[in-house]
Amino acid sequence: MANLAKLVGERVRTIRKIKKLTQEELGELAELQSSYIGGLERGERNVSLETVEKIIKALKMSQSEFFQFNEIGNSSKMAKSEFLEVFTSELQTRSLDDLRKFYEIYKLIYK
């Protein structure tokens, strides 16, 4: 399982970019420093529930919408680099056997 701080950070980054907000703009809306937002998005911060609530409100979402992690990477609005970042992060949490299986499937699809 992926680190929860990393998942929350990826979710914040994905939603922020979909909503076309900079880290500075989100920080201002959530009353947080932009450097804090950056650290959170990289999974470097252990974010409190109070801070997550501020961010959710700033993003104008419900709590249930925010915590739908299965949607990370599913947005058609994501840039290729963002999708690759999320996909790479997900692969890093998998076992070597899983990675071999993914690679075998990839080879079957893209012969």
Tens-place pLDDT, residues 48-90:
999 999 999 999 998 988 887 665 545 555 567 666 766 776 7
Question: Is the Cα torsion angle 74, 92, 13, 82 positive or negative in sign?
Answer: negative
Confidence of residue 1 (pLDDT cuts 50, 70, 90): very low
Helix residue ranges per DSSP H, 1-111: 4-18, 23-30, 34-41, 49-58, 63-66, 80-92, 96-109
Q: pTM value? A: 0.62
Q: Which of these CATH numbers, 3.30.1280.10, 1.10.260.40, 3.30.70.20, 1.10.3480.10, describes 4-109?
A: 1.10.260.40
Least confident residue range of 17-21, 87-91, 106-110? 87-91
Q: What percent of the chain has pLDDT over 90?
A: 34
Q: What are 38's two structure tokens?
A: 């950056």
Residue 45: DSSP 8-state: S
d(CA 105, CA 30): 42
- Domain edges within the chain: 4-109
